Structure 1
Amino acid sequence: ARLTGNRLLSRPGSDKEVRRFTFDTRDSETPLVYETGDALGVRPLNSPALVREWLTVTGLEGAGSGPDDAPGAPAGDIGVHLDGLGETPLGEALLRHLDITRITPDLLRFVAERARDPRELKRLLRPDNKGELAKWSWGRQAVDVVAEFGVRAGAQEWAGVLGRLQPRLYSISSSPLTDPHLVSLTVSVVRYENLHGRARHGVCSPFLADAGPGTPVPVHVQRAPHFRPPADSGTPAVMIGPGTGVAPFIGFLEERRAVGHRAPNWLFFGEQHRATDFYYEEELAAFRADGTLTRLDTAFSRDQRAKVYVQDRMREHGPQLWSWLQDGARFYVCGDASRMAKDVDQALRDIAAVHGGLGEAEAAAYVKQLAADKRYVRDVY
């Protein structure tokens, strides 16, 4: 699909770079059919600059670097064998096929075997040291580890230890009923500095952010049949979507408006600052104005001394939320699995206990039954 839209959603002064990317699928060889709630898989390329750095750090620049004026990837003469692809030039393999950013246990073991002093890596690789390993890996990429320990290996050895570059999945942020040929994503672009102040970034988000208009991007639809807006026009929807977790709910609201559903819709949105991080503020105001969005509650965590999150807003409005659930509302959660989704789940149990008069075990059973009835569904990552 062609990348035709690249709109910055975060405002000047934000700590984050969040963008809405739109793809035009009209020229796709096979029709790209999706439903609201699906995810889009994007197959990125690694950064050519990072490929060059890899070749330099590993001492293989002669094996994989192309002419200085080549516009894209380093593409050398030395071939490496990749399963399913056969013989591939090293530079091409690093650009298109190998994951050259992620620090994996296999990579750390490989480096430890060749390092002059492997004691630190061996300690980090102990099964009881996962927390320390995660802390140590923060701010580093694979190339930083190779540079730090100065290891040398052959091109085929590196190709064997590096994992394959995988597509990145993003919740789709549009409805095909608005335009079947356009599909949009809401993406936080990952850019940071490593421990030595060198620029580092993610793989897919900057690949999209820095691509020129009309760039062809390999994409595929990952179906999510469990995560759909209510099919019944009378079923209310409660949507918890902080940060980029708001993505699918823009599509949900577009869809419910397009099909004329008049059931109430309630969105909880949260971020750091209202002034800089209120993604889709204008669109949400329009959904409120035309009656598609019945309620909008926001939690901007850093706009006051005490941090406030979406789960706090849920508890604040516990009586109304319990009433919506009693009226048959479906409850959707999208976003961070590690903390937010757990906190929201706990808030849901607390609301069932406090406002439904249930004991702790009964409240847990109620929430479990909501999920079993497919009235409580999550898209978390």
Structure 2
Amino acid sequence: MQSTDVQKGPGAYSRTNPFPAKVLKNVNLNGTGSKKETRHLELSLQGSDLSYLPGYALGIVPQNDPELVAALLEELKLDGDTIVTVGKEGDSLTLKDALTNHFEITLLSKKILQQAVEYSENEALRNLLLAENANQLKEYTNGRDLLDMLRDFGPWKASAQEIVSLLRKMTPRLYSIASSIAAHPDEVHLTIGAVRYTTHGRERKGVCSVQVAERIQEGDTLPVFVQINKHFHLPEAQEKDIIMVGPGTGIAPFRSFIEERAVTKATGRSWLFFGDQHAATDFLYQDELEGYQQDGVLTKIDAAFSRDSEQKVYVQHKMLENSQELFEWLEQGAYFYVCGDKTNMAKDVHNALLQIIEQEGKLSAEEAEAYLSELQKQGRYQRDVY
């Protein structure tokens, strides 16, 4: 929710003026022995005048890892207390504060390297920037960060001000909201998977997800704002059926959908497809979901756990196993939702859906595509993928 309005105060909290939300709860949803860490975060919106609908996202303005900031300062041989000016307003702050709170330091772009070359006499950097090495340059920037660049192409003769002038402003991280405000007045909940991986000989950490997992305690505050999502929402008619596909943290908006429908006593049926690695450690919100099923709020749950069997089973396999019933729901006017990984899961789910429509509707591939396009036009096929 971006506001062009710059006045401060309640009602004016926005991307440019985030609200300091107090952390009420921060717990790991995964069981002991899981390869994953998924945080359930509950934040207070009391006094903010912020509100949201199921399907909206929450923006968090994160802070960079203090260890990474310290490593940058050491590599640059610069004092963190050096004063620099940032932004259009020309605000004065310390270099350490600028690197912690104002700039992206975990991403590298062609532009940064092109500008940085002025401050180094390193031949390898000059070569990398030659037109004929465009592919190598692209490969180099992929998965590397500012610290890699500083270590690979030094020595550097840049001032603190020159270093910050290379960097892009920190962008807020958006997360699908995992709660209904009707169920939790003055609160907003999130489901955040901690991103950690090793590449190019260093451990990498997601800026916001690992801040939440490692450094944010209950009682702390996080700067937040609400981001409207007009393309992902519950049907207006309470009697409509909904089919939700949300493996891993993709469960988040569907927790908000289910909570909302429990409060509004919607009469439509609901069917959740959830997936993760192991049933014993990775079935996020299992007790809640099973409670909703017992209460009749959630009609069906089909869960796929990919590492519990020799053949990996994913949400799309569960859809195909239930193809006849799933198609019947669609024919009866059900809305179909997908949330989660855009690269693989959303494509696989899309293809499984086409296969079900083709097979159960006895349609050609072209007719199945047209059927799905029609669902999209009617707002009955909605995706929140990232």
**Fold shared per TM-score above 0.5:** yes
The within-5 A match list for 1:74-85 is 76-85=81-90
Partner of 1:236: 241
1:133 equivalent among 135, 139, 154: 139
Structure 2 SS opposite 1:368:
helix
Q: Distance in 1 between matches of 2:223 and 2:105?
A: 19
> Paired residues, what number?
362
Q: Which runs of 5+ in 1 are unaligned?
A: 65-75
Partner of 2:76: 58
Structure 1 position 200 matched with structure 2 position 204: yes
Structure 1 position 24 matched with structure 2 position 39: no
Q: Distance in 1 between matches of 2:226 and 2:180?
A: 13
Partner of 2:216: 211
Q: Distance in 2 between matches of 1:53 and 1:89?
A: 16
Q: Distance in 1 between matches of 2:197 and 2:126?
A: 28
1:159 equivalent among 134, 142, 164: 164
Structure 1 position 249 matched with structure 2 position 254: yes
Structure 1 position 147 matched with structure 2 position 154: no
Partner of 1:49: 67
Tell me: CA distance 1:367–1:273, structure 2 relative to 1, closer, same or farther (3 Å). same
Please say which of residues 120-129 and 244-253 is displaced more in the overlay.
Answer: 120-129
Structure 2: which amino acid aligns with 1:51? V
Structure 1: which amino acid aligns with 2:62? P
Partner of 1:318: 323
- Shift of the alpha carbon at 1:129? 5.9
Q: Distance in 1 between matches of 2:108 and 2:72?
A: 14
Q: Distance in 1 between matches of 2:216 and 2:54?
A: 26
Check the 8 A contact 2:128/2:136 in 1, yes or no. no
Structure 2 SS opposite 1:19:
strand
1:3 equivalent among 23, 27, 39: 23
Structure 1 position 262 matched with structure 2 position 280: no
- Shift of the alpha carbon at 1:194? 4.9
Structure 1 SS opposite 2:273:
strand
- Shift of the alpha carbon at 1:111? 4.7
Structure 1 SS opposite 2:372:
helix
Check the 8 A contact 1:108/1:121 in 2, yes or no. no
Structure 2 SS opposite 1:118:
helix
Tell me: CA distance 1:297–1:129, structure 2 relative to 1, closer, same or farther (3 Å). farther
- Shift of the alpha carbon at 1:122? 3.8
Check the 8 A contact 1:123/1:129 in 2, yes or no. no
Tell me: CA distance 1:328–1:151, structure 2 relative to 1, closer, same or farther (3 Å). farther
- Shift of the alpha carbon at 1:170? 0.2
Structure 1: which amino acid aligns with 2:328? S
Check the 8 A contact 2:83/2:92 in 1, yes or no. no
Tell me: CA distance 1:236–1:151, structure 2 relative to 1, closer, same or farther (3 Å). farther
* Percent identity of paired positions between Structure 1 and Structure 2: 41
Q: Distance in 1 between matches of 2:130 and 2:300?
A: 52
TM-score by length of 1: 0.89
Runs of 4+ residues deviating >4 angstroms: 123-130
Q: Distance in 2 between matches of 1:20 and 1:33?
A: 19
Q: Which runs of 5+ in 2 are unaligned?
A: 1-20
Structure 2: which amino acid aligns with 1:57? E
Structure 2: which amino acid aligns with 1:6? N
1:103 equivalent among 90, 108, 132: 108
1:338 equivalent among 343, 347, 352: 343
Tell me: CA distance 1:119–1:359, structure 2 relative to 1, closer, same or farther (3 Å). farther
Tell me: CA distance 1:120–1:364, structure 2 relative to 1, closer, same or farther (3 Å). farther
Structure 1: which amino acid aligns with 2:306? S
Partner of 1:185: 190
Q: Distance in 2 between matches of 1:129 and 1:363?
A: 42
1:372 equivalent among 358, 373, 377: 377
Write out per-residue CA displacement over residues 205-245 of structure 1, whole angstroms, 9 at most, x where no aligned residue: 12222212111111000011221122212100000001100
- Shift of the alpha carbon at 1:308? 1.3
2:123 equivalent among 116, 123, 126: 116
Tell me: CA distance 1:379–1:258, structure 2 relative to 1, closer, same or farther (3 Å). same
Check the 8 A contact 2:358/2:365 in 1, yes or no. yes
Q: Distance in 1 between matches of 2:83 and 2:264?
A: 57
TM-score by length of 2: 0.88
